Chains A and B, each alone.
Chain A
């Protein structure tokens, strides 16, 4: 009896040891990191590179709602999301963005942080994986620098994470350190980049554009202007680059704009392969689905501020980039109806976009506000548009050139550049260049392209009051480190004022 107990116990012990043998976990879906490194197919490096770029798109990036782009536009004086009764209140998030009263825990701020960083992560992995492919490493370092430029612009102090970083909770670097990192990354690698007009990848010219943007805003970023360096970078593009203004302004924003002579660096959005450009959904009225025969119902959100809309001359060709007035179905004659609107909408059930917005909240009329029509909305479009989104555009370079001339005390020298842009828009040339008229011109030209917040800060107008927005504190020039990030990394330093 005792023996049998003993046997059972011993047997049990043997079994307990047996069970602790390691089990191999097979991967049937996807590949492992080892597979990726051991025997890579020839196309892999190029596919991974384009994949890293593709992470610039989607989830609230340029042209999408609820992240990076929303905070560049809604915090500016060009676009707002009026709250339409129950719709678009969203916990007050967008009203706070408009009024510069955002909170540290406003969840969508996280996208402003994570979109650049996710690209940075992909570039770091690629630099790790192909340390010897010089051109690729150089290009990835420049792409990484672009990510840090956006982070510097939005947050100031951020941690510099590079391919060798292992600290999971790195402390914030100072804006000066981030600035220097971006500058060095580009200066050291710019010559490795192609001079071909690649558009969807960074090249020698667009690397200079990053540098130009960095220097142009140097006073904001590090308190020290670098107009000379900015102008040098700009001149490389203007004097040696392959770009020119497209005769038709709207060609740059058309559904098929991949061959624009003016667009320098674009996000190649694609309804099927690279989604995230949702501007039609974001700005159009629910019923506008019938105007464009859209696959999905739009959300009736983004609208231009009336004052901004009115800043265009009536004969400004670019003013056609707004949707205003009565709206019709695809046939162009049947008026759009909204059977479920509010009591008190002066236009009744027919949908008429008015430049005037009665109030920001709580009961903006559902038809109020000029809509963003600058980008072509193709008939039958899916919610993800096919238009490529321009990040860098030659018109911007010209306006930047005008600006550095002005800043360097030579407004007359800047006039020809700004007037190239005005001429294309069909408006009379400026006879003199001032800070005010240049900022306004930048606004009209660059509307809805994601640069307005940065421009307003550089022109020291970000804190000024405008429609439904009181004057705001200088601390608001930088967003707070989002709550999620502070929680994930307690070594980050929160920005002043939050």
Chain B
């Protein structure tokens, strides 16, 4: 109330002053003028507000940074302010010319952290939030924004096993967060929830904020359980009349590294029988590999005029893979527009982006066969039979194919088009109350085409089908309409409050279509499916589907800051999802957090910040399809009632998935205690977090007894072997640590900015699996596959134990004849051999600056995870199906292991611990006095320079999933893409 009175008082005084001003204007005014410059750039700053302190009188600087202001008697101090710069107050005295230089307010820019539906000053944040800006990003050739953060955020593991340019990284925040639902953090791009990651080019990213704990993520309700990654793109400069053109272009050369050693042709001849000698010397990997030469160019135009800011950018990336015929080409364009009207009380933003990607993949088997195939075999075969195979040599037998033929005779192309547009308007109803609305649409169109040539002689390949071709489309439109009110106010002395209340509707629409035919007279890629003579049966297809669902939400948040010492925040989101069972459609997700900066209370010596905080929150996760709760009858078998009359053919409706009308969201509750600290006035700073996470009602597609009554849907029976249900709980915990030192002076003008993070995970433990009469004390997953390891699962997820336990017999010895002795052959006597999930991650970023030189590199690694080395499992034993050429420590040229079937044992389980020099970049900024160029930087770098690991497979990176199966981690497949070492050189130039 007192505050309110003060406001009235202030208003009265201002009015009186205004009158006084007008009255005295003619009498005794005098002029002060001058120029305002940008201190760093030394250039005029247009648009700077020059205000007489304590009044509302002011002017702005013109294009040349010049201003003239009339002063009244008693005017003593001028305030120069401009967004992004530290305000300055100058006492006028008798001066008539005041020239000043404004300093960029780096501190204030860095401290604003995006927290969802707004920003918050970093010092006020009481939950676990990490923020990384351009300076902190990984440097190199990255095709997706997530990779900019690899190794940068404690608790965030970004794993990209293998080096395919088309592979998206697996992102896990605080480890595994679900069995069957999405475990990847929710992406929020410029406020657009769940935006396609394709929509943004890494070059356009300004900052990435990671909401790590449930308390921070609760504002995103049912989809925040795996954490939230908020990506903010660059905006135009608000400097009036300025425009910058920045060109960043680099080229890279990539070569495969870490290849599994193989026998040379002569070594192969010595080890294998004479019948295996085909008389040629072929290095199969040389035949499919290449030095990939790639280029990326980003051009952006940014600036501002009057009340408008803009950024327009074009990003072109061409990334060939190191395997011939694989690659990715992306063209992304973006327009970010900001406009302020009504004295900037109405602010409008428009973000538009369009991305066009074409990805070409080669068959994974080609990578396998290039490693194992007999090196005495020829590549080509010009015999009549060879010509039927397109002139390629086709080996006979099983698990034995020509990789060169595979990459040339099979096509797999994916074209992705993504358009994302979002409009946002904000209006200051009063100085304290802001209303805002946002509308966005994210439109994703995917077209996949595949073909196998009629000359593709691999067994089951194109030749046996006289060629096959298919097209598949997948289109998605997500529409979001959102509105909120924000109220910010100092409610009492030193007590600041900000309140957010909002509502949101999200509509999800998706549809897909696909067709496949076979038997072509001529290869026509996948352009002409109608030329395929056979459209039914094996290797043919025709389908389409569509889905729609709605998610309605309301949410609120209140933040309190008492004298920059005590902080409190409370959040709640309520959501209703159409795809849940009737009784469980609505969920409530509350969160609370509080913190206190002890340096404001006690004298903490060297500490300039010592903020203890604690938070608690509840978040959810949606099921993968909206119709799982309903008893949808899909397509059963095709029934021809009269076998002689095609007109009697129907598709029988069948309950292809069992309905679960009680299906609901899975619930994550998380408790975090943390410390944000700074020493020596912020020279050293960082944070520590300990969290405990409990996930209940895990969504999982669980096995049921077909034929039994369905307890979730009385009167119905299980007709399918699985049902989606809320089945189990998961408990995990972890400790996260971040420390960074700002520009440590190493002498001789060299500064060093190191940032170290590490995370220690307590692996997720599975609790009480079961619901509605379902029990599932053990879920076995992870079948290595053919040849010969088809029905043997490596991973067991057992109630009361950890996710991802590796089970098998132990190898007790090897007999003289090379046969192995195992501890047991009976699966029920298998032992736990290890666990596939990591117990720790670290990242150590280093930045050195010397004059105009800068050097950046990051060492990164994970430890504690064990992995199945599939190459060894299948090809180390000499008794396997194929005369392969793989060399391991047990089969140098004279095999130790022989005559043994591929049988899982601890022998093939290896530690995955690794340290990798992920990326390194050296840059030089050319000092320039050119009037046209404001910045010119050359740089060169390397990615994946070295990896230290005892793992003998292709890549020791954590395998969080096996083709999406989260309960089968830790399996390195034989078709893992080779990892490239990437050398990059480029330049960035900014024209003014």
Q: Is the CB of A289 within 8 A of B459?
A: yes
Segment of B31-39, B46-54, B849-857, B873-881 in the binding face: B873-881
Contact with B901, one of A29, A89, A273 (Cβ below 8 angstroms):
A89
Q: How far is the CA of A295 from the CA of B710 in the complex (A)?
A: 40
Q: How far is the CA of A51 from the CA of B902 in the complex (A)?
A: 40
Residues of A contacting B539 with CB < 8 Å? 295
Residues of B contacting A336 with CB < 8 Å? 396
Residues of B contacting A29 with CB < 8 Å? 544-547, 627, 632, 634
| Cβ < 8 Å to B, chain A residues 1-57 | 1-2, 4-5, 8, 11-12, 15-16, 18-33, 35-36, 43-44, 46-48, 50-51, 54-55, 57
Q: How far is the CA of A447 from the CA of B705 in the complex (A)?
A: 31
Give chain A nearest CB distance to B486 CB in angstroms.
10
Q: Is the CB of B549 within 8 A of A25?
A: yes
Residue of A with least CB distance to B784: A91
Q: Is the CB of A33 within 8 A of B789?
A: no
Segment of A121-129, A396-404, A423-431 in the binding face: A121-129
Provide the A479-494 mask, 1 if CB < 8 A to any CB of B, else 0: 0000011011110000
Q: Is the CB of B398 within 8 A of A300?
A: yes
Contact with A487, one of B273, B717, B777 (Cβ below 8 angstroms):
B777
CB of A107 within 8 A of chain B?
A: yes
Q: Is the CB of B586 within 8 A of A166?
A: no
Q: How far is the CA of A268 from the CA of B642 in the complex (A)?
A: 12
Q: Is the CB of B773 within 8 A of A168?
A: yes
Residues of A contacting B637 with CB < 8 Å? 51, 54-55, 57, 273-274
Q: How far is the CA of A23 from the CA of B536 in the complex (A)?
A: 39
Q: Is the CB of A20 within 8 A of B459?
A: no
Provide the B685-708 mask, 1 if CB < 8 A to any CB of A, else 0: 000000000000000000111111
CB of A307 within 8 A of chain B?
A: no
Q: Is the CB of A337 within 8 A of B396?
A: yes
| Cβ < 8 Å to A, chain B residues 238-286 | 272-273, 275-276
Taking A25-B578, A86-B877 as contacts, is the C-beta distance between A362 and B899 under 8 angstroms? yes
Give chain B nearest CB distance to A136 CB in angstroms.
14
CB of A195 within 8 A of chain B?
A: no
CB of A413 within 8 A of chain B?
A: no
Residues of A contacting B641 with CB < 8 Å? 43, 46-47, 50
Q: Is the CB of A33 within 8 A of B636?
A: no
Residue of B with least CB distance to A298: B459
Give chain A nearest CB distance to B485 CB in angstroms.
7
Residues of A contacting B773 with CB < 8 Å? 168-169, 489
Residues of A contacting B436 with CB < 8 Å? none
Segment of B182-190, B739-747, B823-831 in the binding face: B823-831
Give chain A nearest CB distance to B579 CB in angstroms.
6
Contact with A86, one of B464, B536, B874 (Cβ below 8 angstroms):
B874
Residue of B with least CB distance to A380: B464
Segment of A341-349, A435-443, A465-473 in the binding face: A341-349
CB of A153 within 8 A of chain B?
A: no
Q: Is the CB of B719 within 8 A of A89?
A: no
Taking A25-B627, A85-B901, A89-B788 as contacts, is the C-beta distance between A161 and B717 under 8 angstroms? yes
CB of B123 within 8 A of chain A?
A: no
Q: Is the CB of A31 within 8 A of B789?
A: no
Residue of B with least CB distance to A114: B706
Q: Is the CB of B791 within 8 A of A90?
A: yes
Taking A31-B653, A348-B275 as contacts, is the C-beta distance between A12 and B459 under 8 angstroms? no
Contact with A31, one of B511, B626, B633 (Cβ below 8 angstroms):
B633
Residues of B contacting A86 with CB < 8 Å? 787-789, 874, 877, 879-882, 901-902
Taking A103-B827, A295-B465, A488-B704 as contacts, is the C-beta distance between A90 and B788 under 8 angstroms? yes
Provide the B835-871 mask, 1 if CB < 8 A to any CB of A, else 0: 0000000000000000000000000000000000000
CB of B342 within 8 A of chain A?
A: no
| Cβ < 8 Å to A, chain B residues 376-409 | 395-400
Q: Is the CB of B501 within 8 A of A8?
A: yes
Q: How far is the CA of A44 from the CA of B652 in the complex (A)?
A: 8
CB of B987 within 8 A of chain A?
A: no
CB of A325 within 8 A of chain B?
A: no
Q: Is the CB of B705 within 8 A of A489?
A: yes
Q: Is the CB of A272 within 8 A of B536?
A: yes
| Cβ < 8 Å to B, chain A residues 444-498 | 484-485, 487-490
Contact with B717, one of A87, A90, A125, A159 (Cβ below 8 angstroms):
A125
Q: Is the CB of A114 within 8 A of B633?
A: no
Residues of B contacting A33 with CB < 8 Å? 631, 633, 655, 659, 716
CB of A105 within 8 A of chain B?
A: yes
Provide the A192-205 mask, 1 if CB < 8 A to any CB of B, else 0: 00000000000000
Q: How far is the CA of A12 from the CA of B904 in the complex (A)?
A: 58
Residues of A contacting B710 with CB < 8 Å? 168
Segment of B76-84, B128-136, B345-353, B550-558 in the binding face: B550-558
Contact with B575, one of A19, A43, A44, A106 (Cβ below 8 angstroms):
A19
Q: How far is the CA of A57 from the CA of B275 in the complex (A)?
A: 43
Residues of A contacting B626 with CB < 8 Å? 25
CB of A286 within 8 A of chain B?
A: yes
Q: Is the CB of A23 within 8 A of B788?
A: no
Provide the A158-183 mask, 1 if CB < 8 A to any CB of B, else 0: 01010001111110000000000000
Residue of B3, B556, B705, B901 contacting most chain A CB atoms (<10 Å): B705
Q: Is the CB of B880 within 8 A of A85?
A: yes
Q: How far is the CA of A277 from the CA of B710 in the complex (A)?
A: 30
CB of B709 within 8 A of chain A?
A: yes
CB of B1 within 8 A of chain A?
A: yes
Provide the B574-598 mask, 1 if CB < 8 A to any CB of A, else 0: 1111110010011010000000000
Q: Is the CB of A125 within 8 A of B273?
A: no
Q: Is the CB of A89 within 8 A of B903?
A: yes
Residue of B4, B465, B556, B788 contacting most chain A CB atoms (<10 Å): B788
Provide the B764-783 mask, 1 if CB < 8 A to any CB of A, else 0: 00000000111111101000
Residues of A contacting B879 with CB < 8 Å? 85-86, 342, 362-363
Residues of B contacting A361 with CB < 8 Å? 901
Q: Is the CB of B399 within 8 A of A340?
A: yes
Q: Is the CB of B397 within 8 A of A287?
A: yes
Q: How far is the CA of A88 from the CA of B903 in the complex (A)?
A: 11
| Cβ < 8 Å to A, chain B residues 482-504 | 485, 487, 489, 491, 499, 501, 503
Given contacts A273-B638, A339-B276, A362-B819, 7 further A-B contacts (CB under 8 A): A16-B554, A19-B553, A51-B639, A86-B881, A295-B465, A296-B459, A362-B879
Q: Which 9 A-B pairs rank lowest in CB-CB distance, beginning with the nearest? A: A91-B792, A117-B707, A297-B459, A86-B880, A51-B652, A340-B397, A168-B711, A89-B901, A23-B578
